[in-house]
Amino acid sequence: MAAGPDFLGFVYFAATKFAGYTLYCRWGIGPQVEYEATRADIDPPPLPNVWKSGGLRTLIGLAMGAVVGLGFWSIPYFAKHDAIAEPLFFGGLVPVRIFEWWLLLALLYKAFPIRTSKRATLIAVGILVSFALDAIGILAAFILPGGIWVC
């Protein structure tokens, strides 16, 4: 049985990612970053807007996902061997997602010095959030009308 995403499936997936990343930036990253002023008369900069953080993380993920996904699934061997390809693909996403979360922190949270151990924890939890959102987004595309075509 053949199946594939329709336009609305992409919209459901992207909306799920945006909502989840925005929530993680608000309640996962936001409370963990602290600004340490070197002088008492300096006000700390405001945290980045969570909508901007969620939107940027979604755009980074969609761009990287398109490049990595199209590149991986265009290899003829993997296109024909799902049992091997799917675990390899999702396992290969781990280093990609490390880079994606590192990039978000580097771009938006550069004014907030984050200890290496805390940064690693934020990235590790972010990777788990990304995989959970994949599952929710794919499920939404299957359940909601117009998300997946099946024949």
DSSP assignment of 12-44 equals: HHHHHHHHHHHHHIIIIIGGG-----SSTTPPP
- pLDDT per residue of the chain (151 residues) written in tens, 0 to 9: 445 667 888 888 899 999 999 999 999 998 888 766 666 667 778 889 999 999 999 999 999 999 999 999 888 888 788 788 889 999 999 999 999 999 999 999 988 878 888 999 999 999 999 999 999 988 887 888 777 665 5
Q: How far apart are CA 113 and CA 118, in angstroms?
A: 10
Q: How far apart are the first and last CA of the chain?
A: 6
Domain ranges of the chain: 3-34+46-146
How many angstroms separate the CA atoms of 58 and 40, rounded?
Answer: 36
Q: Whole-prediction pTM value?
A: 0.88
CB 112, CB 33: distance < 8 Å: yes
Opening angle at CA 127, ends 7 and 16, nearest 5: 30
Instruction: Judge whether 12 and 149 are in contact, CB under 8 Å.
Output: no
